[in-house]
Amino acid sequence: MKVLVIHGPNLNLLGTRELDVYGDQTLEDIDALVAAAAGEAGIEIESHQTQREGEIIEVLHGGVGRVDGALLNPAAYSHTSRAIADAIRAVPYPVVEVHLSNIHAREEWRRTSVTGEAATGVITGFGPASYVAGLHALKQLLEG
Amino acid sequence: MKVLVIHGPNLNLLGTRELDVYGDQTLEDIDALVAAAAGEAGIEIESHQTQREGEIIEVLHGGVGRVDGALLNPAAYSHTSRAIADAIRAVPYPVVEVHLSNIHAREEWRRTSVTGEAATGVITGFGPASYVAGLHALKQLLEG
Amino acid sequence: MKVLVIHGPNLNLLGTRELDVYGDQTLEDIDALVAAAAGEAGIEIESHQTQREGEIIEVLHGGVGRVDGALLNPAAYSHTSRAIADAIRAVPYPVVEVHLSNIHAREEWRRTSVTGEAATGVITGFGPASYVAGLHALKQLLEG
Amino acid sequence: MKVLVIHGPNLNLLGTRELDVYGDQTLEDIDALVAAAAGEAGIEIESHQTQREGEIIEVLHGGVGRVDGALLNPAAYSHTSRAIADAIRAVPYPVVEVHLSNIHAREEWRRTSVTGEAATGVITGFGPASYVAGLHALKQLLEG
Amino acid sequence: MKVLVIHGPNLNLLGTRELDVYGDQTLEDIDALVAAAAGEAGIEIESHQTQREGEIIEVLHGGVGRVDGALLNPAAYSHTSRAIADAIRAVPYPVVEVHLSNIHAREEWRRTSVTGEAATGVITGFGPASYVAGLHALKQLLEG
Amino acid sequence: MKVLVIHGPNLNLLGTRELDVYGDQTLEDIDALVAAAAGEAGIEIESHQTQREGEIIEVLHGGVGRVDGALLNPAAYSHTSRAIADAIRAVPYPVVEVHLSNIHAREEWRRTSVTGEAATGVITGFGPASYVAGLHALKQLLEG
Amino acid sequence: MKVLVIHGPNLNLLGTRELDVYGDQTLEDIDALVAAAAGEAGIEIESHQTQREGEIIEVLHGGVGRVDGALLNPAAYSHTSRAIADAIRAVPYPVVEVHLSNIHAREEWRRTSVTGEAATGVITGFGPASYVAGLHALKQLLEG
Amino acid sequence: MKVLVIHGPNLNLLGTRELDVYGDQTLEDIDALVAAAAGEAGIEIESHQTQREGEIIEVLHGGVGRVDGALLNPAAYSHTSRAIADAIRAVPYPVVEVHLSNIHAREEWRRTSVTGEAATGVITGFGPASYVAGLHALKQLLEG
Amino acid sequence: MKVLVIHGPNLNLLGTRELDVYGDQTLEDIDALVAAAAGEAGIEIESHQTQREGEIIEVLHGGVGRVDGALLNPAAYSHTSRAIADAIRAVPYPVVEVHLSNIHAREEWRRTSVTGEAATGVITGFGPASYVAGLHALKQLLEG
Amino acid sequence: MKVLVIHGPNLNLLGTRELDVYGDQTLEDIDALVAAAAGEAGIEIESHQTQREGEIIEVLHGGVGRVDGALLNPAAYSHTSRAIADAIRAVPYPVVEVHLSNIHAREEWRRTSVTGEAATGVITGFGPASYVAGLHALKQLLEG
Amino acid sequence: MKVLVIHGPNLNLLGTRELDVYGDQTLEDIDALVAAAAGEAGIEIESHQTQREGEIIEVLHGGVGRVDGALLNPAAYSHTSRAIADAIRAVPYPVVEVHLSNIHAREEWRRTSVTGEAATGVITGFGPASYVAGLHALKQLLEG
Amino acid sequence: MKVLVIHGPNLNLLGTRELDVYGDQTLEDIDALVAAAAGEAGIEIESHQTQREGEIIEVLHGGVGRVDGALLNPAAYSHTSRAIADAIRAVPYPVVEVHLSNIHAREEWRRTSVTGEAATGVITGFGPASYVAGLHALKQLLEG
Report yes or no: G87 and G65 within 8 Å, Cβ to Cβ.
no
Q: What is the pLDDT of residue J17?
A: 82
d(CA J91, CA J72): 13
The alpha-carbon gap from I84 to the nearest alpha carbon of chain K, in Å, equals: 9
pTM of the model: 0.95
Q: Is the pLDDT of residue K38 over 80?
A: yes
pLDDT on residue A105: 92
Q: How far is CA H112 from CA D76, E84, H81, I61, J109, in A?
A: 17, 18, 11, 51, 11
Considering only CB atoms, E122 lies closest to which of F120, F124, F132, namely: F124
Question: What is the dihedral angle through the alpha carbons of B117, B118, B119, B122, rounded to the nearest 10 degrees?
Answer: -10
Residue of E nearest to D59 (CA): E51
Across chain L, mean pLDDT equals: 95
pLDDT 10s digits, K118-130: 999 999 999 999 9
Tell me, what CATH number does E18's domain have? 3.40.50.9100
Confidence (pLDDT) at I143: 86
Phi, psi of D83 (to 5 degrees): -70, -40
Angle at H124 between CA H122 and CA H126, to 5 degrees: 135
Q: Which residue among J120, J125, J137 sits closest to H122, beta carbon to beta carbon?
A: J125
- Give the model's pLDDT for residue G20: 85
- Segments of chain C assigned E as strands: 2-7, 44-49, 69-73, 95-99, 121-124
Distance of CA D21 to the CA centre of its chain: 17
Instruction: Indicate the pLDDT class of residue I51, thresholds 50, 70 and 90.
Output: very high
Mutate to test the interface with H, among J114, J120, J122 (most CBs of H within 10 A): J122
How confident is residue C27, by pLDDT bands cut at 50, 70 and 90? very high
Compute and round to an integer the Cα radius of gyration of chain I. Answer: 14
Q: K77 and I83 in contact by Cβ < 8 A?
A: yes
pLDDT in tens, J51-107: 999 999 999 999 999 999 999 999 999 999 999 999 999 999 999 999 999 999 999
Q: What is the mean pLDDT of chain K?
A: 95
pLDDT at D21 over 90: no
pLDDT at K144: 72
How far apart CA B116 and CA C51 sit, in angstroms, is 27
Return the number of other C-beta atoms located less than 10 Å from residue E108's C-beta: 10
In angstroms, what separates the C-alpha of C128 from chain B's closest C-alpha? 29
Q: A105-130 pLDDT, tens per residue?
A: 999 899 999 999 999 999 999 999 99
Q: What mean pLDDT, rounded, does chain J reach?
A: 95
> What pLDDT band is residue J19 in, cutting at 50, 70 and 90?
confident
The per-residue pLDDT for E8 is 98
The CA-based angle D56-H87-H46, given to 5 degrees, is 105
* Arithmetic mean of pLDDT, F110-128: 96
Distances in Å between the alpha carbon of K101 and those of H2, K20, K125, L72? 67, 10, 4, 18
- Cβ–Cβ gap G85/C79 under 8 Å: no
Question: If DSSP codes are grouped into helix, strand and coil, which group holds residue B102?
Answer: coil
Q: What is the mean pLDDT of residues G108-113?
A: 92
Q: How many domains does chain G have?
A: 1
Q: What's the pLDDT score for residue H18?
A: 83
User: Do the interacting molecules here have an ipTM over 0.85?
Assistant: yes
The overall average pLDDT reported for chain I is: 95
Q: What pLDDT does residue D20 have?
A: 84
The helix/strand/coil state of H66 is coil
Q: What is the mean pLDDT of residues E10-20?
A: 90
Closest Cα in chain A to B78: A104
pLDDT band with cut points at 50, 70 and 90 for residue L144: confident
Instruction: Pick the range with the lowest mean pLDDT from B55-64, C21-30, L126-135.
Output: C21-30
In this structure, what are the phi and psi dihedrals at residue E52, rounded to the nearest 5 degrees? -105, 125
Q: At A69, which amino acid appears? A: G
Residue I19 has pLDDT above 90, yes or no: no
Distinct helix (H) and strand (E) counts, chain J: 5, 5
Q: What is the pLDDT of residues I86-124, one digit of tens each?
A: 999 999 999 999 999 999 999 989 999 999 999 999 999
Q: What is the pLDDT, as a whole number, of residue H143? A: 87
Q: Which whole number is the average pLDDT over F128-142?
A: 94
Q: Tell me the per-residue pLDDT of E45-99, one tens digit each, with 9 for 90 and over.
A: 999 999 999 999 999 999 999 999 999 999 999 999 999 999 999 999 999 999 9
List the H69-73 sheet strands across, edge first.
Answer: H44-49, H2-7, H69-73, H95-99, H121-124, J121-124, J95-99, J69-73, J2-7, J44-49
Q: Mean pLDDT for chain D?
A: 95
- Give the number of H-J residue pairs with CB atoms closer than 8 Å: 88
Q: Is the pLDDT of residue A21 over 90?
A: no
> What's chain E's average pLDDT?
95
Q: What is the pLDDT of residues C55-93, one digit of tens each?
A: 999 999 999 999 999 999 999 999 999 999 999 999 999
Domain coverage including residue A52? 2-74+83-143
Q: Sign (positive/negative) of CA torsion F76, F80, F84, F85?
A: positive
Nearest CA of chain E to the CA of F133: how many Å?
Answer: 6
- Whole-number Cα distances in Å, H84 to D50, E57, F44: 13, 18, 56
| Confidence class for position B21, pLDDT limits 50, 70, 90 | confident
Q: Which of H6, H13, H103, H106 to mutate to test the interface with E (most CBs of E within 10 A)?
A: H13
Q: What is the pLDDT of residue E4?
A: 98
Distance (Å) from the C-alpha of residue J108 to the closest C-alpha of chain L? 18
Which candidate from B10, B53, B54 shows the least CB-CB separation from C86?
Answer: B10
CB atoms within 10 A of CB F132: 26
Chain D residue at shortest CA distance from H54? D52
- Nearest Cα residue in chain I from G129: I137
Q: How many CB atoms lie within 10 A of CB L60?
A: 25
- What does the pLDDT look like over C88-107, one tens digit per residue? 999 999 999 999 999 999 99
Most F-contacting residue of E101, E123, E130, E132 (CB-CB within 10 A), to test interface: E123
Looking at chain J, the whole-number percentage of residues with pLDDT higher than 90 is 89
Instruction: Give L35-67 pLDDT, tens digit per residue.
Output: 999 999 999 999 999 999 999 999 999 999 999
Structure confidence at residue I18 as a pLDDT band (50, 70, 90):
confident
pLDDT score of L136 more than 80 = yes
Nearest to J137 among H121, H122, H129 (CB): H129
pLDDT value of position I23: 85
> Would strands F121-124 and E121-124 be described as parallel, antiparallel, or unpaired?
antiparallel
K125 touches K102 (CB < 8 A): yes
Condensed to tens digits (0 to 9), the pLDDT of residues D96-129 reads 999 999 999 999 899 999 999 999 999 999 999 9
D99 flagged as catalytic:
yes
Rg of the Cα atoms in chain J:
14
Cα separation, L49 vs H96, in Å, equals: 43
Percent of chain F beyond pLDDT 70? 100
CA-angle at D99, arms to D96 and D105, nearest 5°: 125
H touches which chains (3+ CB pairs under 8 A)? D, E, J
**Quick check: F144 pLDDT over 80?**
no
Q: What is the pLDDT of residues A56-102, one digit of tens each?
A: 999 999 999 999 999 999 999 999 999 999 999 999 999 999 999 99
Question: Three-state secondary structure along I46-58?
Answer: EEEECCCHHHHHH
Cross-chain residue pair K17–I55, CB shorter than 8 Å: no
Which residues of chain H fall short of a pLDDT of 70?
Answer: none
Identify the pLDDT of residue A20: 84
**Length in residues, chain F:** 144
CB atoms within 10 A of CB D62: 15
pLDDT tens-digit map of J30-39: 999 999 999 9
| Distance from the Cα of residue J92 to its chain's centroid | 17
- pLDDT computed for residue H106 by the predictor: 92
The answer to whether the beta carbons of residues F140 and E126 sit under 8 Å apart is yes
